[in-house]
Copies of this chain bind each other. A is one copy, B any other.
Amino acid sequence: MSRASAPGARVELICVGSELLGGKTNTHQSYISLALARFGLSLSRESSLPDDLEPLKSAIAEAFSRADALIVCGGLGPTFDDITREAAAAALGRPLVFKPELFAQIKRRFQRFRTRMPAENRRQAYLISGASALKNNFGSAPGQMLVTRGADTGKPRMLVLLPGPFAELSPMFERDVLPRLKRLYARGVFSRALSVHLAGMTESAADERLKILTRRHRPGEAFTILAGRGQVDFHAAATAPSAAQAAKRITGIRRLIRRAVGEHVFGEGETTLESAVGALLRRRRLTLASAESCTAGFFSGRVTAAPGSSDYFKGGVIAYSNELKMKMLGVSTETLRRRGAVSAECAREMAEGARRATGASIGLSITGIAGPSGGTKTKPVGLVYIGLAGPGAACSVWESRFLGSRHTVRERAAAAALYRLWRMLSQR
């Protein structure tokens, strides 16, 4: 799904930690890839290695011989199995040098937290000869950065060691590493990035309609489509010889995205579907209540994932049983008997019932068959009705069929309900 730009600098990533080969998901790879893309750079290879000195030493030596820049994450802790410092120094044939001022800093950190520093932490005060320390404001392990010149080419070559925990790695990477990478390998190259979020369509539908961009293969452009939580994220980056040209390229890309999938674009950057909905509700001074059956709280959970959502979300009813649909939402016995709980009529009565029970200006309902069992020929697993009552007298119901596991059906139903609400609010 990703089209890399013409290769500029070769940046490689090595992730160190036996847990990465024991089942833990590697999240650094995704974070660093997306961060590099903002500057028109991309990873040419990633490797995960266990906490073993010899294989790590060879992997670092090989990667450093191939790459312009090599980023190594993890293994900078104080204990015996944290061996990245030793492996990197050996791979480069440089000694590790004890830095008294670094040791003093580490000791001060422990004093500040009023804990005794274990003797092992002394190991963290060693730097590869020639490297500079990268300050860690969130942990004891300093990072390291070494920039040399290739003996033959004269080109700058960079080795970076970063601590493993994300909360320590990420500020260090943004503050010290990214700007340096840009200066060394993207000097005179200006880049702009754009993340556009789409709802109400599948990844493959988005992929198909965005081919006008992803398949035009212009140098200096990179695109990635990622899907999850019932939405699709489209990442674009463009580089150019000036900031103005890079901005202009991104403006052109944004225009093409809008033309291809405009009605599905609910936001950019940090915007989530729930924050986009929340901003519209707040602006129009409307309040929301929910009535959930098959999603049973998934929808409300997403609405309230946005901080400050108590400004517009009143609450709702999880009417999992027919009894509660009648008792708490006023769904009629007639509807349940003749149409069933999974029907457009029931969705409508649930949405209106949520509004009535809470006094909210908008009531949103979801009723469906999440599976794996409970499906019939006329009402298959994945059939979901979304009802929207208000503001005012308006009331709409949508029928959808979602494919996938119980979890996927529920996740997509909640996202689809948010999307319907967003479209209704943004159109009027």
Contacts and interface: CB of A to CB of B under 8 A. Distances in A.
Interface of A: 1-4, 17-27, 29-30, 33-34, 37, 42-50, 55, 59, 62, 222, 224, 226, 235, 290, 292, 295-301, 303-305, 307-310, 313-321, 323-324, 327-328, 357-359, 371-373, 406-407, 410
Contact of A298 (B17, B290, B301, B319): B301
A59 B59 CA distance: 12
Contacts of A48: 29, 43, 45-47
B303 A358 contact: no
- Taken together, the copies of this chain in the complex come to 2
B29 A20 contact: yes
Contacts of A19: 1-2, 224, 226
B235 A23 contact: yes
A25 B29 contact: yes
A313 to B, nearest CB: 5
B328 A357 contact: yes
Contacts of A2: 17-19, 21-24, 50
Contact of A321 (B1, B55, B314, B373): B314
A42 B22 contact: yes
A21 B47 contact: no
28 contacts: A1-B22, A2-B17, A2-B18, A2-B22, A2-B23, A2-B24, A19-B224, A20-B29, A21-B44, A22-B37, A22-B235, A23-B224, A23-B226, A44-B50, A44-B55, A45-B48, A45-B59, A47-B47, A290-B297, A297-B318, A307-B372, A310-B321, A314-B323, A315-B320, A317-B317, A324-B358, A327-B357, A327-B358
A21 B1 contact: no
A43 B317 CA distance: 48
A326 to B, nearest CB: 11
Given A29-B48, A298-B301, 16 more contacts: A1-B18, A19-B226, A21-B42, A25-B29, A43-B48, A45-B49, A45-B55, A47-B47, A292-B297, A296-B303, A300-B320, A308-B373, A310-B321, A314-B320, A317-B328, A323-B358
Nearest to A22: B2
